[in-house]
């Protein structure tokens, strides 16, 4: 991760194919495009990859979440349960529909704690959205049980976890709806792009129409299409789809490289007794896009992250101090800093953020370090990196122990 590290002639050929026929839009212009439909081809490839009936490409992972929720009828005043650890797009996509993001604690999987989810359910709850952060997953069976028990929509944001699986099913294909991102730093990239995945024909049809101004896509004359309901413009372009088409065919190659690099580093860190790793639920297989581990306390984690940076170990983060991925720094959400007036329902629905604490989430995120696994590293570079990481962790733990004494 990310796929842009290994661009090749495969991507160039697909892009040049689009430029040669001149049709950059995914819909219409049938006569000009000479039978070339990159978005349709990519949707078919993704359906095979995700072992799912339907895939609808959209313009981003953020758009995928909004489209997925809208396709199932989530909207004004509905509550959507989501984790405290995610990207800011999660609550943005919910609020765009006039719905209310209800943040709940994570557990040692670094995703939703099923017990926290159940405790947060109210009569307004419409959906539960698990975010498969950093290449792994939550306890999907337990979360599904909660949703089934309370008749809730189950949504899976697998934007960071393409290539992972749970009980033999690809991540993103397990819930009622799955969402993916193919932005520039994902394991497979379109530059910008996303997808909604589902086995529900009604949700798929709604996503197909909603993402293109409500067009019904019936027939071969775009100008004659009707609009069964309101929609927005969340279309992907043929150029973006062309890059993704080449990349998705390389996904097994990318996952194999990630697994190799991940394994080298994990085995090295495993020699340090104070290092523990995130919990991967039974039956789960990570995508190996990130290596996540815990240190004994917040201080040691913060110091190790700083030591990594000082020793040239890049792309490793302590998310407790990160502006984008953890609620601690989401002041613009807590203070409702918006360019446009926010509805009274959403304002009232977010009042809880002014006083609610998330001690369990703090406990895990403050001790966590997350390391991106690059595709472009050589094996020698990975081994040298692992050695630097081990030495930095040992030095920090020794210095903290000495200072206590």
Helix (H, G, I), strand (E, B) or coil at 6: helix
Structure tokens at 363: 């406990």
Q: In what order do the strands lie in the sheet with 284-285?
A: 169-170, 165-166, 284-285
Q: Which of 186, 302, 328, 374 is catalytic?
A: 186
**Per-residue DSSP letter, 342:** P
* Tokens at 348, concatenated: 């009232």
Using CB atoms within 10 A of its CB, is residue 293 exposed (0-12), middle (13-18) or buried (19+)?
buried
User: Could you tell me where the beta strands, DSSP code E, fall in 202-361?
Assistant: 276-277, 284-285, 290-294, 316-317
- Both tokens of 178, joined, read 């799955």
Spatial CA neighbour of 234 closest among 218, 216, 210, 201:
210
Q: Which residues 6+ apart lie within 8 Å of 10 measured at CB?
A: 246, 249, 250
Residue with tokens 């991540």: 171
Residue 256 to residue 260: CA distance in whole angstroms? 6
Cβ pair 160, 132 in contact under 8 A: yes
329 is catalytic: no
Contacts of 300 (CB under 8 A, 6+ apart): 274, 367, 396, 397, 400
What whole-number distance in Å separates Cα of residue 378 and Cα of residue 366? 31
Residues 219/30, Cβ–Cβ less than 8 Å: no
- Residues assigned a catalytic role: 186
């Amino acid at each position: 991760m990310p796929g842009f590290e290994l661009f090749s002639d495969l991507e160039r050929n697909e892009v040049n194919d689009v430029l040669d026929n001149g049709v950059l839009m995914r819909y219409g212009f049938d006569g000009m495009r000479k039978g070339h439909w990159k978005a349709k081809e990519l949707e078919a490839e993704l359906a095979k990859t995700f072992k799912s009936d339907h895939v609808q490409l959209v313009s981003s992972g953020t758009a995928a979440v909004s489209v997925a929720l809208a396709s199932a009828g989530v909207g004004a005043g509905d509550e959507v349960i989501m984790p405290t650890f995610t990207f800011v797009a999660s609550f943005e996509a919910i609020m765009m529909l006039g719905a209310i993001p209800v943040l709940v604690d994570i557990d040692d999987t670094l995703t939703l704690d099923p017990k926290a989810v159940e405790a947060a359910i109210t009569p307004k709850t419409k959906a539960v959205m698990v975010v498969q952060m950093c290449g792994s997953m939550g306890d999907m069976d337990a979360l599904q049980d909660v949703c089934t028990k309370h008749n809730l929509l189950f949504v899976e944001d697998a934007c960071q976890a393409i290539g992972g699986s749970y009980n033999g099913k690809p991540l993103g294909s397990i819930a009622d709806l799955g969402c993916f991102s193919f932005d520039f730093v994902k394991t497979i990239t379109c530059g910008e792009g996303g997808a909604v995945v589902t086995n529900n024909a009604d949700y798929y049809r709604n996503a197909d129409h909603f993402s293109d101004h409500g067009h019904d896509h019936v027939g071969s004359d775009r100008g004659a299409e009707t609009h069964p309901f309101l929609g927005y413009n969340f279309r992907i372009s043929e150029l973006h789809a062309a890059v993704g088409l080449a990349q998705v065919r390389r996904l097994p190659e990318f996952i194999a490289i990630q697994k190799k690099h991940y394994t080298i580093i994990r085995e090295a860190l495993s020699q340090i007794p104070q290092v523990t790793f995130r919990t991967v639920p039974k039956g789960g297989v990570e995508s190996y896009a990130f290596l996540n581990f815990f240190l004994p306390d917040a201080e040691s984690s913060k110091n190790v992250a700083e030591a990594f940076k000082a020793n040239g170990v890049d792309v490793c983060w302590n998310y407790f101090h990160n502006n984008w991925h953890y609620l601690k720094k989401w002041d613009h959400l807590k203070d409702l800093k918006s360019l446009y007036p926010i509805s009274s329902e959403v304002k009232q629905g977010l009042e809880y953020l002014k006083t609610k604490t998330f001690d369990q989430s703090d406990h895990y995120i403050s001790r966590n370090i997350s390391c991106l696994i690059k595709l472009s590293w050589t094996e020698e570079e990975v081994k040298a990196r692992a050695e630097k990481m081990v030495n930095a962790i040992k030095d920090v733990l020794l210095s903290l122990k000495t200072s206590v004494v």
